Amino acid sequence: MNILLVEDNQEIAAFVSRGLSEAGDVVSVATSARQGLIEAAANAFDVIVFDRLLPGMDGVDAVRVLRQSGVVTPILILTALDGIDDRVTGLEAGADDYLTKPFAFAELYARLRALARRQPVIDTDPTRLEVGDLVLERPTQIVTRAGVRLDLLPREYKILEYLMMNEGQLVTRTMLLEKIWGYRFDPKTSLVQTHVSRLRAKVDKPFNGELIRTVRGAGYVIGEP
């Protein structure tokens, strides 16, 4: 996706931009409503993310200006204002979706993909997950491969569950940091790589066929070889 992110909070902008870039998307960042309006009018984007509270102009007013000028690109408003009236105002101004802060990156990414007419990252919530001969029973948290029970540590289980919930989809390092550890920033450690490496030693190494694959510079994908 080619995405325009209009956000004046540098930490949030960096977090979202990094996560989207890891997923293979192209991100342009604008730090003011005026800059966002210029970018949106001059370039073709698959989706636009507008913060609500921006320097010089409310994000909702900026969305209204874009719609009045004929820009039809799908727009998601990102804001700390979570009142019903605030959401209605944004949608009536021409926004297609509305997400309140704090937010989960995985949800933001799924919403953006939906707006760009792609499938969301997670679309089901089954109790039994299967990838090839790997089976994860969510009610009991029992994991087996080729009928052999795997002894996973709690975080290894959570990582595997998240990967299997997104079978065939890229799961980025940012998604795992947020989903498994609750980080909304980069701790600058090899935390994810270390845990995934240990998980692969249990899931893949003793068996025929690699299920968990590394996408260099992006993240991980689980699927049949």
User: What is the spatial distance between Cα 166 and Cα 182, in angstroms, rounded to a whole number?
Assistant: 18
pLDDT digits (tens, 9 = 90+) for 6-61: 999 899 999 999 999 988 899 999 998 888 888 887 788 889 999 988 888 888 89
Cis before 102? omega within 30: yes
Domains in the chain, ordered, with CATH? 2-115 (3.40.50.2300), 128-222 (1.10.10.10)
The 10 Å Cβ neighbour count of residue 192 is 22
User: What is the spatial distance between Cα 66 and Cα 64, in angstroms, rounded to a whole number?
Assistant: 5
Q: Which whole number is the average pLDDT over 142-146?
A: 96
pLDDT computed for residue 54 by the predictor:
86
**Is 70 exceeded by the pLDDT of residue 124?**
no
pLDDT computed for residue 40 by the predictor:
85
pLDDT digits (tens, 9 = 90+) for 86-110: 778 888 888 889 898 888 899 999 9
At 80 the three-state DSSP class reads coil
pLDDT digits (tens, 9 = 90+) for 52-89: 888 888 888 988 888 887 788 899 998 887 777 777 88
Which one, of 13, 1, 215, lies nearest residue 117 by Cα?
1
Confidence of residue 187 (pLDDT cuts 50, 70, 90): low
Quote the crossing angle between the two packed helices 33-42 and 59-68, to the nearest 10°: 30
Q: Which whole number is the average pLDDT over 144-169?
A: 93
pLDDT computed for residue 120 by the predictor:
37
